[in-house]
């Protein structure tokens, strides 16, 4: 089957326009989480520019893929950060990325439910950063948040333990209790697989952004 003329004009038999490649990759990837990681990367790399442009590109293969824009975030700076943020949001937590620490030039990877300052440290972090990271934790604590660090193993292989620890910290601080699908009711709902696709999205709601989970009564 031949590609339409406007598509072939953007590439060739051996070179595909990266925007078209992205539209295909997100619907063929092995999981919803991987699809969000791809979009986070594409936004950060400048392959798509802004929400409207991203939605147009992502919907070229499947219309529902445009909803990935609401789930993605150009502030995600690593695969670990993207994966952790997506998992937390799917579990009903409110996640804000790249949050400044008051009175400093430091930035927190993400704040969870307004309580936990979560840093995702990849393998590139070495002993030379140990003291700087501990000082950053102190600054996060002085800013009224609970600092918590999750490395590669904690995100990739021990996520159950990691999210349990985050939830325990939120409970200890009297923060909200997450309810899957409620805290992020403004995000397009993730549906089950159909055919060759491992994930689908429901039609996006009119409003965007995340809603804070209600405090436990």
For residue range 19-46, list pLDDT tens digits in order. Answer: 999 999 999 999 999 999 999 999 999 9
Q: Give buried/exposed letters for 34-43 (b at 16+ CB in 10 A, else e).
A: bbbbbbbbbb
pLDDT at 5: 47
**144 — phi, psi (to 5°)?**
90, 10
Could you say which DSSP state residue 189 is in? P
pTM of the model: 0.80
Q: Is the pLDDT of residue 209 over 90?
A: no
% residues pLDDT > 90 (the chain): 64
Cα-Cα-Cα-Cα dihedral of 53, 54, 57, 58, to 10°?
-150
Rounded to 5 degrees, what angle do the CA atoms 65, 81, 142 make? 135
pLDDT at 114: 93
| Lowest-confidence region among 101-110, 115-124, 177-186 | 177-186
Q: For residues 107-134, give the mean pLDDT.
A: 83
Q: Is the pLDDT of residue 215 over 90?
A: no
pLDDT at 1: 35
Q: For residues 45-51, give the mean pLDDT.
A: 93
Q: 56-115 pLDDT, tens per residue?
A: 999 999 999 999 999 998 888 889 999 999 999 999 999 999 999 999 999 999 999 999
Class of residue 69 by CB neighbours under 10 A (exposed 0-12, middle 13-18, buried 19+): buried
The answer to whether the beta carbons of residues 109 and 97 sit under 8 Å apart is yes
Mean pLDDT of the residues in the chain:
84
H or E stretch covering 121 = strand 116-121
Is the sign of the CA dihedral 209, 63, 49, 72 positive or negative? positive
pLDDT band at residue 182 under the 50/70/90 scheme: low
| Pairwise pLDDT comparison (168 vs 207), residue with the higher score | 168
pLDDT band at residue 6 under the 50/70/90 scheme: low
């Amino acid at each position: 089957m031949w590609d339409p003329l406007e598509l072939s004009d953007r590439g060739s038999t051996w070179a595909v326009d990266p925007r078209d490649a992205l539209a295909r990759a997100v619907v063929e990837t092995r999981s919803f989480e991987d699809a969000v990681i791809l979009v986070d990367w594409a936004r950060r790399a400048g392959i798509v520019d802004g929400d409207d442009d991203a939605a147009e590109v992502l919907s070229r293969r499947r219309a529902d893929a445009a909803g990935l824009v609401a789930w993605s975030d150009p502030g995600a700076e690593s695969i670990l950060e993207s994966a952790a943020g997506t998992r937390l949001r799917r579990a009903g937590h409110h996640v804000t990325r790249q949050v400044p620490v008051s009175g400093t030039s430091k930035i927190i990877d993400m704040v969870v439910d307004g309580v936990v300052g979560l840093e995702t440290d990849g393998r590139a972090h070495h002993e030379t950063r140990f003291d700087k990271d501990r000082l950053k934790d102190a600054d996060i604590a002085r800013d009224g948040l609970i600092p918590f660090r999750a490395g590669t193993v904690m995100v990739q292989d021990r996520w159950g333990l990691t999210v349990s620890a985050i939830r325990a910290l939120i409970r200890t601080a009297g923060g909200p209790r997450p309810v899957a699908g409620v805290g992020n009711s403004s995000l397009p709902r993730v549906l089950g697989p159909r055919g060759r696709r491992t994930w689908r999205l429901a039609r996006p709601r009119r409003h965007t952004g995340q809603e804070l989970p209600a405090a436990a009564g």
